[in-house]
Amino acid sequence: MALTGTYTRSMDDKNRLAIPKRLCDEFGEVDLKGFVLAPGTNNALDMYSPAGFERLARKVSRQSSNRAEVRNYARMFYSRAEKVELDAQSRIRIPERLAEFAGLERDVVLLGVHDHAEIWNSSAWDRFLSDHNSAFDEMAAKAFELPSP
């Protein structure tokens, strides 16, 4: 099932973040014990289930490692990715270096984005929406364009 939804949350002073049950359920994994957090685009964090992260790793490995961009991306992505566990209250602890990467403060937003979730600084998400909302129809048209034969 595709991950969906927008969830506003607050991180505590130990960088712990409660993950909504509905979002955990949408990952579709039995006995989900944690996630993999990784740097994403737009200074957000990407959150994958362990199986989702493995699917992504297989995609990356199919790219040519002879290309410097692919090697550099893999180095930067995997070296900063980190496994985090769900505690008894369905919280994860976001490592300090990843919280700094994403500029996370107390108020954050979790987004379901098809095969992963994203964690955004709440103000950054509001700016993103403000900057891109008017182009939604154009983005939708491009997203559904058929590839050229």
Q: Quick check: is 68 in a domain?
A: yes
Q: Would you place residue 148 in the very low, low, confident or very high pLDDT band (cuts 50, 70, 90)?
A: low
How many domains does the structure of the chain reveal?
1
- Mean pLDDT value across the chain: 93
pTM of the entire predicted model:
0.91
Whether 98 contacts 45, CB under 8 Å: yes
Strand order of the sheet with strand 34-39?
6-10, 107-113, 116-121, 45-48, 34-39, 82-85
Q: What is the pLDDT of residue 70?
A: 85
Query: Region 39-67: what's the mean pLDDT?
Result: 91
Give 107's strand partners.
10
Q: Quick check: is 23 in a domain?
A: yes
Output phi, psi for 138, to 5 deg.
-65, -45
Q: Would you place residue 149 in the very low, low, confident or very high pLDDT band (cuts 50, 70, 90)?
A: low
Residue numbers of the domain that contains 96: 6-122
